[in-house]
Chain A
Amino acid sequence: MSLAVLQRAKELLGDTIKSTHSYRGDDTLVVDAAAIVEVMRLLKDEVGMDFLVDLTCVDYLGREPRFEVVYHLRSMKTGERLRVKAPLDEPEDGSNPALDSVVPLWAGANWFEREVWDLYGIRFHNHPDLRRILMYEEFVGHPLRKDYPKERRQPLVRRDPNE
């Protein structure tokens, strides 16, 4: 159905698209993470994918590039759907991977991006308020990364055993 969307996106975006695939109506664009805001702006304004359904992240530990930030878009007019993936590697110096925030395009991305920062440790430039959203401030690390030990707990209170 929305092969047309894929086609239009390819024409508009050209080189920023790294690859595409389409399977049973599931259309995916893999794009350059550095150009994500420009890509999203074109998809929103020119292709008509005007609704950001979801923004999440996947950690493929052991693969290069390690992370993939995933955006799901939908056109409210035609009902077409499109998935955009931005692969992202960990910087050499051990800092957090980062890309630009899409909050200027969709205000609703605010909490999604905070969640991705909280659970995967990916920074978003130009985000208005990048704090943890689910875990507490005292929490160290990013629990949905595949190298976070499953059993490690970081308690806030424990009772006095001699109580």
Chain B
Amino acid sequence: MGLEFYTSKLADAVNWARKYSLFQYPFVTACCGMEFMALWGPKYDVARFGAEFPRFSPRQADLLIIVGTITERQGPILRRIYEQMCEPKWTIAFGVCASTGGFYQNYSTMPGADQCIPIDVYIPGCPPRPEQVLDGLIMLQDKIQNGQGFVQRREKREHDAGKNKLKVLP
């Protein structure tokens, strides 16, 4: 037991704090937004999971929720918003449109938001029930705790490859 013991315990604590203080940025483009509002109301109350606080600037957010259809024309906007967020950051695709393009198989719709940004959790449904979204959120919390988020894994890879030696990592 040396330094590794302390750093891995510290990483656990940091990840525990991260998973219960998700500041989310809702990128709402279509009808799924209605279900999203229900989720944020008192009935389903996402605040229980520490993710109640929408930030209307991506620079202050660490969870990007893509709610609704992404068109090809919107791709560059979504990409820029993702790049403006500070790391570590996570993403959720809310609904089939954001996950795969849904039933829009045409010239204008991007077949899933993962064509232009990495996605951590996909929530199916058109629109998904709020329970499903809460389930997805809990899955994301598990991922964060285990260091399995996309950005977390990349940081780990870079760390193992000898970059970012000063950072304390999971």
Chain B count of residues within 8 A CB distance of the other chain:
17
B36 → chain A, closest Cβ, in Å?
24
* Residue interface bits B89-120, CB-to-A below 8 A is 1, else 0: 00000000000000001111011001111100
Question: Residues of B contacting A151 with CB < 8 Å?
Answer: 105
Q: Is B75 an interface residue (CB 8 A)?
A: yes
Question: Residues of A contacting B79 with CB < 8 Å?
Answer: 157, 159
The SS class assigned to the A binding surface is loop
Partner of B108, one of A135, A157, A158, A163: A135
Partner of B76, one of A143, A148, A156: A156
Q: Is B73 an interface residue (CB 8 A)?
A: yes
A142 → chain B, closest Cβ, in Å?
10
Q: Is B72 an interface residue (CB 8 A)?
A: yes
- Number of residue pairs across A and B with beta carbons under 8 Å? 42
Inter-chain contact A143/B72, CB cutoff 8 Å? no
Which A residues, 104 to 163, have Cβ-Cβ distances below 8 Å to chain B? 134-136, 143, 148, 150-159, 163
Interface size of A as a range = 10 to 19
A141 → chain B, closest Cβ, in Å?
9
Question: Residues of B contacting A152 with CB < 8 Å?
Answer: 107
Which residue of chain A has its CB nearest to the CB of B115?
A: A158
Partner of B75, one of A135, A148, A155, A163: A155
Inter-chain contact A153/B117, CB cutoff 8 Å? no
> What separation, in Å, do the CA atoms of A148 and B108 have in the docked complex?
12
Inter-chain contact A153/B107, CB cutoff 8 Å? yes
Q: Which of A136, A151, A156 has the most CB of B within 10 A?
A: A156
Q: Which of A143, A154, A159 has the most CB of B within 10 A?
A: A159
- Known A-B contacts A135-B108, A150-B105, A150-B106; the reply to A155 vs B72 at CB < 8 A is yes
Question: Residues of A contacting B107 with CB < 8 Å?
Answer: 143, 148, 150, 152-154
Q: Which of B75, B105, B107, B115 has the most CB of A within 10 A?
A: B107
Interface of B toward A, CB cutoff 8 Å: 72-73, 75-76, 79, 105-108, 110-111, 114-118, 154
